[in-house]
Chain A
């Protein structure tokens, strides 16, 4: 799979905020239909890395390449325009708004004449429900329902369905399963697989090794802003990965520390 040309690639990216180096010499690539799991403890620089890909921050040094060509992501809009979609932990959804309105946030379908444009609620609801159902969430049938009434997993799924519908080629999932129960997390992982099957390049950020191993093809472990390990599926055991994430210390050692 690594022979395919990557959809998105980071080459030697550094990021510093003033004197503080947050990311150091990050190189990563993800191909279509591949899930890259980005693992790392809190504060390892995962969020900063996502924000660079989402166009919120710009790298201090280094390049971002898409389909082998260098690109600049100066604003979130730039990233979106190129098909890089980010779904955050809480789904990037608005609890007190309807499913249809959530789905089309920022790209509202309208109808009407000339300058008087009216939000096309019927169309929005219909497409939203169709898309969410096609991702396997069949319990959502009414686009007028408020998102606040959905479960955490359903909200994540809605956000992912939204990204897929709007032609995302790169899907960045920022800890989508962190706040979810076992069942709901399984739901979200199923949808990650669905996105992968549809040929998206998925970057899946998590600190739950189990979830990463369930869907990942390729893993990168981030420690204090650098890539500490980069390996393919099956190359390392769950224990090894956990140890890596803990900063090289073995879990057994950590456990021993906690007990004393």
Chain B
């Protein structure tokens, strides 16, 4: 758990106990390796760095709420369909129908929130595992997006030219290549860190994944909280879709299956436990950055591009093994301390 800076003495133990430590070390290792192999291929140039940081921002703003759900003991894979659904919503509303951009954005976010609400309602009212529920909504929403696109505009992709101010705010570039989404992501990281690690609600999220029955008995509104987390996840995904559409002036209704894997890999590499009850926002940020370096930064190094999937696969396995070790370390370290 990230401790408030005012009351923490930095010690080796407290750093080791911080579950983000593993994710950070993994990132540092991958970054240094890539920096060595990419030194002559501009890996460290602004262009190189911004390439993978831009990629990380999109994955990252989805991965953190996916991580919240994982900490709460649930999974959301419908993100792959929410992304194109929101992209098409904003593009059709503000592009094809020429309504103000804010209307399109609000419509897209509402679509996201609605899908999350449906996910949350089904998961909390039935005993169906969230993996299956969101797999179902993944396909349902993907199909709906395609057919509604044909119904409204008779094509599966369309363009959107946002006004200047919206372009600057949601899809511009700054500091030599960093997209607006990077700054939105940083802002969201701040809010998410507050939510999970400092606000009382964060405790409840951990409790959900730790022991749902006890959480309910402790008076925590487990159903409402879970529905809210599903809504947060799909709304954040919808926001990522909006940013992408404004950035690239275009939207496609094709489901983005890659995003599902990317977000889950980022969360697991970031140290969250698949079984729930454990994880940090900063860990997920480092997990996202690691994934992005391997997937996108590899083009700026002498490493064969085709190896990136292999590296990610190995990394994922190592991360899961490390999570388990770190979890043991965290509980054992505190146990041994009492013997002093």
Query: Could you tell me which A residues sit within 8 Å of B by CB distance?
Result: 54, 56, 76-77, 80, 86, 88, 90, 92-98, 101, 104-108, 110, 116-119, 121-122, 139-142, 144-146, 148-150
- Given the known A-B contacts A76-B219, A105-B203, A106-B219, are A95 and B332 also in contact in the complex, defined by CB atoms under 8 Å? no
A residues near B4, Cβ cutoff 8 Å: 118, 121
Can you show 15 pairs from A to B with CB atoms below 8 A apart?
Answer: A86-B217, A90-B214, A95-B331, A96-B206, A96-B277, A96-B330, A97-B277, A101-B203, A105-B214, A116-B194, A118-B194, A119-B199, A141-B338, A142-B338, A149-B331
CA distance A141 to B3 in the complex (A): 18
B residues near A139, Cβ cutoff 8 Å: 338
The answer on a CB contact under 8 Å between B206 and A101 is yes
A residues near B200, Cβ cutoff 8 Å: 108, 110, 117, 119
The answer on a CB contact under 8 Å between B217 and A108 is no
A residues near B278, Cβ cutoff 8 Å: 96
Q: Chain A at the B interface: mostly helix, strand, loop or mixed?
A: loop
Residue of A nearest to B339 (CB): A139
CA distance A56 to B273 in the complex (A): 29
Known contacts A96-B277, A144-B3; can you find 11 more A-B pairs with CB under 8 A?
A92-B218, A94-B211, A98-B1, A106-B203, A106-B220, A108-B203, A118-B199, A119-B198, A139-B338, A145-B334, A146-B330
The answer on a CB contact under 8 Å between B220 and A105 is yes
- Given the known A-B contacts A98-B1, A101-B206, are A76 and B216 also in contact in the complex, defined by CB atoms under 8 Å? yes
The answer on a CB contact under 8 Å between A94 and B219 is no
CA distance A1 to B128 in the complex (A): 50
User: Quick check: is B26 within 8 A (CB to CB) of the other chain?
Assistant: no
B residues near A118, Cβ cutoff 8 Å: 4, 194, 198-199
The answer on a CB contact under 8 Å between A80 and B332 is no
B residues near A77, Cβ cutoff 8 Å: 219
Q: Chain B at the A interface: mostly helix, strand, loop or mixed?
A: helix
Most chain A Cβ neighbours within 10 Å, of B199, B200, B330: B200
| Interface residues on chain B, number (Cβ under 8 Å) | 36
B residues near A108, Cβ cutoff 8 Å: 200, 203
The answer on a CB contact under 8 Å between A106 and B334 is no
User: Quick check: is B202 within 8 A (CB to CB) of the other chain?
Assistant: yes
Q: Mark B241-281, 1 if CB is under 8 A from A, else 0.
A: 00000000000000000000000000000000100011000
A residues near B334, Cβ cutoff 8 Å: 142, 144-146, 149
B residues near A121, Cβ cutoff 8 Å: 3-4, 7
The answer on a CB contact under 8 Å between A145 and B337 is yes
The answer on a CB contact under 8 Å between B332 and A56 is no
Interface residues of B in 34-48 (CB under 8 A from A): none
B residues near A122, Cβ cutoff 8 Å: 7
User: Quick check: is B177 within 8 A (CB to CB) of the other chain?
Assistant: no
Shortest CB–CB separation between residue A143 and chain B, in angstroms? 11
CA distance A140 to B7 in the complex (A): 20
- Nearest 8 A-B pairs (CB), nearest first? A94-B210, A108-B200, A92-B214, A145-B334, A149-B335, A106-B218, A148-B331, A149-B331
The answer on a CB contact under 8 Å between A117 and B331 is no
A residues near B211, Cβ cutoff 8 Å: 90, 92-94
B residues near A92, Cβ cutoff 8 Å: 211, 214, 217-218
